[in-house]
Structure 1
Amino acid sequence: MLPTLNAKPEPDTQSLGKRSMLPQRVLTALAVGIEGLFGSGFDQLLLDLPINSWVGPVPSGFGLHLVTRDEIQHAPRVTFEMARDAVTRNYRYDQQRKATEALVERLEQHYVIELDDPTQ
């Protein structure tokens, strides 16, 4: 099947192979997304593959695959300045959640909650 896949022009891959719940094509994904789809370590196997050439079988948690990769784009390093707003927002959310939980605990100490017996 690899010679068929590597033929030019590229054949229609819809009719080749076994169908599964996995996506037939992953256009753009972070390594963690690839790992989430195909299992631990699959993203690392893709790093060593040649560009624009079908190869395989490549093992994953779901079995063996024939794969091709167009390119790998390395994500830019995120500096604290770039993440400052998200970090601040998450910190404030976490502090608000903790304050709400503490308030609920304090209020619960002043009340008795009685439930009617539904069998009566």
Structure 2
Amino acid sequence: MKSSAWFRIQEMFRFQSFHMYGVIGSAILVGLISIQIIKRNHLRTITGEPIVIADKKFNHGIWIGGIIFGLGWALTGACPGPLFAQLGSGVGSAAILILAALAGTWTYSALREKLPH
């Protein structure tokens, strides 16, 4: 059983398996703890420069884009990165998904200035 197979993603979006939620949740937890350690201990880079984590301004486009991305992920069973691996391993339908991802990226770039900030 491959842990990166499309069915793992479908199981996640159907709330049938904790596997992917565990992976994603673990990554978020490690990131939160790491950032807190960096901030509280005023850690520096290997060259001695202070690590500065800039504050982010909330943008409604983030959650809207996240929903669109998540829906695409749920429908296709793959996020954009593995699409190329799928195509290389002989999954011909991945070519359609790659074209769709490129079309979405192009559409976003064309509409970016008109979208809410």
TM-score by length of structure 1 reads 0.24
**Structure having the larger proportion of residues in strand:** 1
Q: Answer 1 or 2: higher relative contact order, Cα 8 Å, separation at least 6.
A: 2
**Structure having the larger proportion of residues in helix:** 2
Mark the structure with the bigger radius of gyration: 1
TM-score by length of structure 2 reads 0.25
